[in-house]
Structure 1
């Protein structure tokens, strides 16, 4: 049963989104259509999500036949100009980034007269993240869950007006055009799409649209696959003719995309050591379903299954610990312990009891505690963070991860719709790890195991980038230093070039498992045609984010000029920052808008709000008396009692029976999991072989999930064979013949 309270229709009527993807860069143009059907002038305020790494580069308004293009100005000045315009009866428009999280923006449409319509155009560019399966991920955020404001945090929290996704009063249309030098293999989505339409015979250009009837119950995710995606590239973009020579916008900018290839001899062996620290979100919202379908498992139940798989896949000889957090935090062991059958079983008993019952989302304190623990010699620390990302102190968390980046690698996982892309991507980027998002029908286990493979790769050290250019050409690197490299993962470098030449070369040198290696890319410095200023804006965004982090680190110190540098660069490049805002004022309208201005908050879709979080959420929710006074009504939906849990997945049942060493024991439960009688499983060796064969016979579609623990089982079998041979014991020849022909090929 649901409790429903009606809400008043809002002036935002529709959103139209046009996406253009060129190789691995996306340009997004959103048009927001407003109409005031009330008898009073309105101020419409819309707080909405954007990708955390987006470079917002254009903002304009069209009223009738008048178009007003916004300018980038220092944030406080822009706010004052907006307020002054409204007080004078003028129309004004303000777009600003949240001070606390770069993936939340606020759009204010001021003085919209009765019966008037307005179209707001917003444009941003962003890079597409490479997934472990080589797909490029684009996400159009739609869901904005209220962000938890930690106790004692400085500054006001992000004010979010939210309603359940099914009751959002405006529509969304979405279309995408994809082009690449390489053929487009396929485009997948978590939403219903019309069929992909190729525009040429070599399949390097295609279009796709969101199917009619889309509901705002999820972010719109596209996964784009190219043939031969792992090709290093360099794109040089000519400077802006009207910009000052020698400035970032006036000089050419190069974007270099590198895919380091590691020696196969090194990659064939996974690390057998490390300290693995798992940090699990157990706030109230983790009790929500991963999607809004009541048939799906909850976030916390999927997380429990994932922890089971991780614990079974860890190598013998490593160390581990598990933390969980909500309003406070807990840990299974006082400090990380050596991985063994006993410690694994003790941890699993606690994991099985984990529920989403710890209240808010205080992620900062457990992170501080983890970082305060001394590192274990010769056991590199690998931190895995699982959260739905509904936190309000995003920048503080990212800054803390960066501060401790020399002592660990951080792998982050955003669970469910509305997880903060700024938080998840920022933690992984600053922690030298990898980010994953689990939405829709995604299995968390498969994506987490992909990250575990990265964590088990040898750490790449001594990374350096050198440029081979003629003497008359200088290079200014805009990107921060590369801190981590993974097999098959892309690294992007932006650089400003001064001077004109034909050819250049960039070399990345590094050491892997004690072996020095290098990768080179030769490229033409002739500007590519028809690239606009996309590369310049992405380069400016990259430099702005680095400077913003430097500014936070330098607070209270002598260097007070970083903010001024950010503002200057933001204004010069036309790219938003945390210290600037877009402001547009309609000065052509001679008529003064009469009457008191009524504010209307535009709601964003959110998922179910759990009772544990309603006490502490920083959300713009009106009291009943306020609702009566303003005639604004909001909807709150609470799910009915959770349905009975479905029977356990057979794969997870089998995994739960594996020993820490990698073998399976003679046990009636194993026979049941395999569909065998107890008499058919007559030894640990045979039980382990049967388990491996069952995995290969019936669960090949989930190989990404069990491959590591199967490798551990095969290694255990090899040790058994070597032990028997070295001790010259009597051997069952049939078994070892079967082992050699049936089991070893599976390793």
Structure 2
């Protein structure tokens, strides 16, 4: 057997890098496993980061991504999210004195992320809202009326759980907010709202009005007061006249940079209950079909009609209009009655009293354009109706106010010429400080003068958020004055007008177009020469029914008195008494003659709620007691109110737990005829603190106050600030650190397993 050969130096070098087969395989296997685990961790972390990033980033776009005008919501990180899009369908059925509306809102999410859509929208101030539904495929989820805070809690819980939910809240009797949680990427959620309302009647004309856009509101600044708590020191109290200003100030599109949004369709099934003469849509083109002498059907003519002005439909009777209406409904063992009586039009008896008329005109920024011309024409028309024995004055206001004369002056040529020149020179600008102007108009130098009719004719679009301050001012200072509200423009605040006229014992006249000024102002001044019926009372013999309103107003020419009653069993005769001049007037309506009506119980409840709230404004009951009574009435009759909301929840979760939810307010159009710059300004100054100040009519131009903060604009699309939401920046930093640590560990392991060279 031979001896082993000695290796040379090159062979020893090669062998030093070689190991027995089994050891080499183990090291390779370990390295392969490290590499495999490394790749697995990298892929898992990248997938996790990608999912989280998609959840927060995929929903965002850039202005350059947009191919058409869109509202972009901007986060603090400088990213943008498209606002939800909305379409609304109104289906109205008019049956005699009442109307039933089904409003279908379609919320569409154009983004890649999950959003909560929030839409601030108007309804008629007389609407008794009682139904909310979510339509999901073939399923319909019906909402419930709950106490307001309870409904909010249910909604927030559903939102966190990823469930589709809808919360309908009343901000004002004519402003509502619909919040829809968990709208998925590119998904459409359909929500239906239903409400009942009474049909308005005046001078033989019946009318239906559908408000389609919430006009931007002027919200006065909080007043800071110093309060003396005790002898040891002072404290600061802030009284905000509009504590919910954020809830009634949705984003508004600049019509110069964006096409109109929120298209609507409207269909009306009109069964008047009497032979129809004229049926007129005043602001929208319609297609109309005649079913018979008492029945019409109509729809809007055209597609993509924008929600930028109110829809107004009027109709009249052929021949003599009905003078009396009596309708009855029985619900859950209770009877409800709806009665309307129009007093006869008889010549005024006795001498016509002279009038002291104070005209108040709004020339704030929201009135710029057609509204300002309508208001000026209306006031000039009013001046033309004054008689030589009358006296008058004029108050104009924006964020300041002027009183033209030191006191009421005779309606002679000299003073009338001065007044016409003053009115003709007015221009719209500034904020809308309405309360100080009203206080000035209510100052009465002769409060005991029973020989003169004192009247305040208030001309405005009503675009303010502090309605309660105005109502309180009327309640405290009306004295012998009667307040007649004249609503101006394409989207006036009819809740303010109606409630102010009711509390001021006057009437409300609406003027939406310049060509309506002459006829409607003539109609108003024909009414207010003197009340037709005074001292009105109503009783229901043989029944313990609760009548609403409890105190009936004086009636003016062509105005009906509307009464409602609730009782366990209605019977007997409804009797209405009053005085026409010096002559007693009476009418009796047997309850057995009442026709069947629908939704009267809801209307009674809505009217009762309004009466309770008015009593609180007049300090007849406390706010706490009023809230309790409103809650009880609204829950018993299942209607939305200041104390109740409608909540609907789809119990099936949709949004994954790791996907964030971003709130996105649905933008609104600027009302037709409004000037964006006059309302919002170019560079919006901060509102001046405190109440409006009086200034001389000849003073220099004054600083404009914005109605609301103007949205920022960049490139073509409009944008508003979004609340800051979660981003993957922190997560990506952690992922990067982990990858670096894994790479370092891999490097160290590889070095440890690799033999050192000789």
The TM tier, using the shorter chain, reads 0.7 to 0.9
CA distance in 1, matches of 2:87, 2:380: 44
2:528 and 2:556 in contact (8 A); partners too: no
After the TM superposition, which residues 407-426 of structure 1 pair with which residues of structure 2 at under 5 Å, given as runs? 407-426=480-499
Q: Which runs of 4+ in 1 moved over 6 A?
A: none
Task: State the number of aligned residues.
Answer: 594
> C-alpha offsets along residues 349-378 of structure 1, whole Å, 9 cap, x if unaligned?
322322223x11111111122223334512
Distance of aligned partners of 1:88 and 1:375 in 2 relative to their CA distance in 1, 3 Å threshold: farther
Which residue number in structure 2 is paired with residue 178 of structure 1? 270
2:287 and 2:300 in contact (8 A); partners too: no
Q: For structure 2, which runs of at least 5 residues remain unmatched after alignment?
A: 1-67, 73-81, 223-239, 685-704, 725-758
- Structure 2 residue 626 is the aligned partner of structure 1 residue 538: no
1:417 and 1:439 in contact (8 A); partners too: yes
CA distance in 2, matches of 1:219, 1:617: 23
Distance of aligned partners of 1:319 and 1:535 in 2 relative to their CA distance in 1, 3 Å threshold: same
CA distance in 2, matches of 1:491, 1:97: 27
> C-alpha offsets along residues 699-744 of structure 1, whole Å, 9 cap, x if unaligned?
xxxxxxxxxxxxxxxxxxxxxxxxxxxxxxxxxxxxxxxxxxxxxx
Which residue number in structure 1 is paired with residue 584 of structure 2? 516
Tell me which of 442, 446, 469 is aligned to 2:515. 442
Which residue number in structure 1 is paired with residue 341 of structure 2? 258
Deviates more, 1:54-63 or 1:344-353: 344-353
CA distance in 1, matches of 2:649, 2:453: 55
Which residue number in structure 2 is paired with residue 578 of structure 1? 642
TM-score for both structures, normalised by structure 1: 0.75
Tell me which of 673, 677, 680 is aligned to 1:611. 677
1:286 and 1:356 in contact (8 A); partners too: yes
CA distance in 2, matches of 1:563, 1:176: 35
Which residue number in structure 1 is paired with residue 99 of structure 2? 26
Which residue number in structure 2 is paired with residue 220 of structure 1? 311
Which residue number in structure 1 is paired with residue 21 of structure 2? none
2:330 and 2:336 in contact (8 A); partners too: yes
Tell me which of 352, 357, 361 is aligned to 1:276. 357
CA distance in 1, matches of 2:566, 2:720: 57
Q: For structure 1, which runs of at least 5 residues remain unmatched after alignment?
A: 241-249, 290-298, 633-747
2:69 and 2:259 in contact (8 A); partners too: no
1:479 and 1:539 in contact (8 A); partners too: no
CA drift at 1:117: 2.7
2:323 and 2:343 in contact (8 A); partners too: no
CA distance in 2, matches of 1:10, 1:108: 14
Distance of aligned partners of 1:300 and 1:594 in 2 relative to their CA distance in 1, 3 Å threshold: same
CA drift at 1:434: 1.7
CA drift at 1:238: 0.8
CA distance in 2, matches of 1:212, 1:381: 47
After the TM superposition, which residues 200-219 of structure 1 pair with which residues of structure 2 at under 5 Å, given as runs? 200=292, 203-213=293-303, 214-219=305-310
Distance of aligned partners of 1:592 and 1:566 in 2 relative to their CA distance in 1, 3 Å threshold: farther
Which residue number in structure 1 is paired with residue 406 of structure 2? 334
Distance of aligned partners of 1:262 and 1:135 in 2 relative to their CA distance in 1, 3 Å threshold: closer
1:52 and 1:422 in contact (8 A); partners too: yes
Which residue number in structure 1 is paired with residue 199 of structure 2? 128
Tell me which of 129, 133, 149 is aligned to 1:60. 133
Which residue number in structure 2 is paired with residue 198 of structure 1? 290
1:375 and 1:407 in contact (8 A); partners too: no
Which residue number in structure 1 is paired with residue 322 of structure 2? 230
> C-alpha offsets along residues 217-272 of structure 1, whole Å, 9 cap, x if unaligned?
421111122233232011010123xxxxxxxxx41000011111153353xx7724
SS in 1 for 2:669: strand
CA distance in 1, matches of 2:108, 2:70: 20
CA drift at 1:306: 3.0
Tell me which of 86, 89, 113 is aligned to 2:184. 113
CA distance in 1, matches of 2:270, 2:642: 31
1:22 and 1:179 in contact (8 A); partners too: yes
CA distance in 2, matches of 1:628, 1:68: 33
Distance of aligned partners of 1:510 and 1:18 in 2 relative to their CA distance in 1, 3 Å threshold: same
SS in 2 for 1:199: strand
TM-score for both structures, normalised by structure 2: 0.74
CA distance in 2, matches of 1:442, 1:270: 33
> C-alpha offsets along residues 151-179 of structure 1, whole Å, 9 cap, x if unaligned?
33431312222225672333211111011
1:270 and 1:456 in contact (8 A); partners too: no
2:128 and 2:640 in contact (8 A); partners too: yes
SS in 2 for 1:349: helix
SS in 1 for 2:495: helix
Tell me which of 250, 262, 273 is aligned to 1:160. 250
CA distance in 1, matches of 2:546, 2:139: 41
CA distance in 2, matches of 1:304, 1:463: 35
- Structure 2 residue 522 is the aligned partner of structure 1 residue 474: no
CA drift at 1:392: 0.9
CA drift at 1:495: 0.4
CA distance in 1, matches of 2:106, 2:641: 25
SS in 1 for 2:502: helix
CA distance in 2, matches of 1:570, 1:583: 14
1:505 and 1:523 in contact (8 A); partners too: yes
CA drift at 1:123: 0.8
2:577 and 2:585 in contact (8 A); partners too: yes
Distance of aligned partners of 1:278 and 1:441 in 2 relative to their CA distance in 1, 3 Å threshold: closer
1:260 and 1:519 in contact (8 A); partners too: no
> C-alpha offsets along residues 606-665 of structure 1, whole Å, 9 cap, x if unaligned?
133453432344547544699487599xxxxxxxxxxxxxxxxxxxxxxxxxxxxxxxxx
CA distance in 2, matches of 1:621, 1:595: 31
After the TM superposition, which residues 286-325 of structure 1 pair with which residues of structure 2 at under 5 Å, given as runs? 286-289=367-370, 299-325=371-397
CA distance in 2, matches of 1:559, 1:581: 19
CA drift at 1:507: 2.0
